[in-house]
Amino acid sequence: MAGYPAELEEHWTAGGERLLIRPIRPSDAAEHDAFFHRLTPEDIRSRFFAAVRELTPEQIAKFTRLDYDRDMAFIAVREATGETVGVARLVREQEPMMAEFAVALQHDVQGRGLATHLMQRLLDWAPRHGVREVVGEILADNTAMLELARHLGFHLSHLPEDSQIIEARLRLEPPGDAPMAQGAG
């Protein structure tokens, strides 16, 4: 398992607020749980597709303990307070060249370009680590996330088995090939 990639840390400004964008690490577990509790019920439903009230210790460990060569989660941390205000992650399950994305932002930082920035960081990281396709499921009423996916070039389609869920799919070119990202057809 690869060590913490400190070279991926960056300072970024969203709506006049300074944020540290960096990979998540195991020491973020308590703050990640606190971040979850600052999300609105609607934000939680959009992320988990259900009314989740608590994250189990196992879920928190899974979210914060990564093999940085295989999976990645970038968090946005308020420089002034140390609070986590957003996370975007890519996780590979069985298929090593495909990763699933997920994004969650605290309500007070939404609409500032932070989700776009976090996702773009993931899409830049992914092809250098063997990911050739990024997929995600988005609730059909989550217009902000659908717009973000369109903006990033994802191809959107309704899942045949559930019209309330839209699949977002993006094919990535291997490093050194141009262009960097292509919508899947």
Q: How far apart are CA 115 and CA 36, in angstroms?
A: 16
Q: How many residues in the chain?
A: 185
Tell me, which fold does domain 6-183 have in CATH?
Aminopeptidase (3.40.630)
Q: Which residues of the chain have pLDDT under 50?
A: 178, 180-185
Looking at the DSSP bridge assignments, the partners of residue 139 are 165
The per-residue pLDDT for 45 is 76
Phi then psi dihedrals of residue 102, to 5 deg: -150, 145
The per-residue pLDDT for 1 is 58
Q: How far apart are CA 86 and CA 28, in angstroms?
A: 12
CA dihedral 108, 24, 88, 97 (to 10 degrees): 180
Q: Tell me the domain boundaries of the chain.
A: 6-183
Distance of CA 114 to the CA centre of its chain: 11
The per-residue pLDDT for 52 is 75
Residues 101-147 pLDDT 10s: 999 999 999 999 999 999 999 999 999 999 999 999 999 999 999 99
